[in-house]
């Protein structure tokens, strides 16, 4: 699912909401994922003041995904 956003296949708010819900359920008490969930909540296509844009969120998601895969 996260790879879909990183590749740019779906970067809609609805899709990001689904990712956010999944991460909230799966990694509720992990500080790295809690920070990512905050960024997901501030996501807006095109960005803006105090918002996270597509490229910024894709970088964050890639970083966290790589970290997660290394831990496994």
Number of domains present in the structure of the chain: 1
Residue 28 has pLDDT above 80, yes or no: no
Dihedrals phi, psi of 39, to nearest 5 degrees? -65, -40
Mean of pLDDT over the chain? 89
Query: Which tens digits make up the pLDDT trace of 33-48?
Result: 888 888 999 999 988 8
Q: 51: domain range? A: 2-71
Helix, coil or strand: residue 22: helix
Higher pLDDT, 26 or 57: 57
pTM for this predicted structure: 0.84
């Amino acid at each position: 699912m996260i790879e879909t956003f990183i590749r740019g296949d779906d970067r809609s708010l609805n899709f990001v909401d689904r990712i956010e819900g999944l991460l909230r359920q799966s990694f509720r008490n992990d500080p790295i994922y809690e920070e990512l969930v905050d960024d997901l909540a501030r996501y807006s296509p095109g960005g803006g003041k105090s918002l996270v844009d597509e490229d910024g969120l894709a970088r964050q998601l890639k970083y966290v995904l790589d970290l997660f895969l290394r831990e496994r």
